[in-house]
Amino acid sequence: MFNILNSVDSTNNYAMGMVHAGMAKHGMAWFAIDQTAGKGQQGKVWETAAGQNLALSIVLQPGKPFARQQFFFSAVIANTCYEFFKSYAGTETSVKWPNDIYWRDRKAGGILIENKLMGENWKWAVVGIGININQTEFTDQLSRAVSLKQVSGNNYDPAELARILHARIVHKINATTQSDFPGILKDYNDHLYLRNSSTRLKKDNIIFETCIKGVNEFGQLITEDAVERIFNFGEVEWVGNS
């Protein structure tokens, strides 16, 4: 179920290709030693040095618990990646809404979930995960990136870490029931980046300062300044502390 690719443009593209070809099974995963055109959120490119980092895509069938509350699927993935990175990097790890992994004020990893629907049925989710492991030099565009090696001072085997993370995610998704949702949301908010802190956000070319209060059960960001505000994913950009 865990497969290693020497080189691929995008593990998510490869995994989705397997879904479309009818060759995917729940829990299958592909790890790339060299990912040449990794995909980030909102069409951005995920840059990664060959052989140094974790580039992983997992094909999952979300199942009934997540059908009506899809944010909790994303939250389980984010929480699991947070716990995974924290186990090596320590307590200064957090999740930046909606699903980036941060260490202090620097980005250590990102998650991209792409879905395949059949009618109104959520049939497949391709979960792409990129985490900086051994890379220590980044381009100017990635000047706020950080790797596990920079945090801990140690070298790691990215493929072995990918195997561990893959197993944890599949186990968590399989084990989650709807009764777990309140605890999942609490955990997500407990390690939310900049929670109860002020930051600057940008919406429609307007930059404003607001306090991050949390995320609700729909995956919306709640902030507070003169009034309480609620934002959908993609509605605002981080400006300060980003």
pLDDT tens by residue, 73-98: 999 999 999 999 999 999 999 999 99
Give the model's confidence band at 242: pLDDT under 50 very low, under 70 low, under 90 confident, else very high: very low
Mean pLDDT of the chain: 93
Is residue 143 over pLDDT 70? Answer: no
Give the model's confidence band at 140: pLDDT under 50 very low, under 70 low, under 90 confident, else very high: low
SS3 34: strand
What is the pTM for the complete model shown? 0.94
Structure tokens at 9: 């443009």
User: By mean pLDDT, which of 13-27, 113-127, 153-167, 192-206 is the weakest?
Assistant: 113-127
Q: What integer pLDDT is reported at residue 45 of this predicted model?
A: 61
Angle between helices 181-190 and 71-89 (to 10 degrees): 50
Q: What integer pLDDT is reported at residue 185 of this predicted model?
A: 98
Q: What is the pLDDT of residues 34-72, one digit of tens each?
A: 999 887 665 566 678 889 999 999 999 998 899 989 999
Query: Could you give the CA distance from residue 187 to residue 57 in angstroms, rounded to a whole number?
Result: 24
Q: What is the pLDDT of residues 218-227, one digit of tens each?
A: 999 999 999 9
Q: What integer pLDDT is reported at residue 18 of this predicted model?
A: 97
Residue type, 128: G
Contact 32, 13 (CB under 8 A): no
Highest-confidence range of 34-38, 115-119, 197-201, by mean pLDDT? 197-201
Q: What integer pLDDT is reported at residue 41 of this predicted model?
A: 65
Which residue from 194, 130, 198 is spatially nearest to 165, judged by alpha carbons? 130
Contact 46, 130 (CB under 8 A): yes
Contact 173, 188 (CB under 8 A): no
Q: What integer pLDDT is reported at residue 44 of this predicted model?
A: 64
Contact 101, 93 (CB under 8 A): yes
Q: What integer pLDDT is reported at residue 37 of this predicted model?
A: 82
Measured at the alpha carbon of residue 44, what is the angle toward residues 98 and 140, in degrees to the nearest 5? 100
Cβ count near 68 (within 10 Å): 9
Gyration radius (Cα) of the chain, Å: 17
Mean pLDDT of 210-216: 98
Angle between helices 158-175 and 71-89 (to 10 degrees): 140
For 151-174, letters b (16+ CB in 10 Å) and e give: beeeebebbebbbebbeebbebbe
